[in-house]
Amino acid sequence: MKLGHISLPKGHKEENETPFQTALREIKEETNSSVKIDTNFSYTFSYCPCEGILKDVTFFIGFVDDIRNIIPQKEEVGEIEFLDYKKALNVLSYDGDKKVIERAYDYYKKYHEK
């Protein structure tokens, strides 16, 4: 993020959007990427971005169509990195994001690795 922390892509839901639609739109806006989302996995948690405000955020597992087309949205994103599981846990700024990575990793190992 431009604010100096390392986080997972997330954003604001627009009127009449489902969490799935929000994820697709936000990923496209922030990274210029199209992704295929595994809708069998989702993880929702609440966080407080500032005093007096509580937000729920839902994460999915997404598979990038073409890594060569990734362009960070310069207003919000400093840079984009694809990291392995252990490196991601070490660099993420927030415990909630780390929990998402842990849950997604467990799910991926169970249903996608062979």
pLDDT > 90: percent of the chain: 57
Average pLDDT over residues 86-98: 94
Residue that the structure tokens 């846990």 belong to: 89
- Compare 10 and 28 and report the one with higher pLDDT: 28
CA 63 – CA 50 distance, rounded (Å):
31
pLDDT over 70 (residue 100)? yes
**Does 19-111 carry CATH code 3.90.79.10?**
yes
**What's residue 3's pLDDT?**
61
What is the average pLDDT value for the chain, to the nearest integer? 89
| pTM given for the model | 0.82
Q: Is the dihedral of CA 110, 108, 54, 13 positive or negative?
A: negative
Distance, CA of 82 to CA of 80 (rounded, Å) = 7
pLDDT for residue 114: 63
How far apart are the C-alpha atoms of 66 and 34, rounded to whole Å?
A: 8
Give the closest residue to 24 by CA, choosing from 43, 15, 11, 41: 11
* Domain residue spans of the chain: 19-111
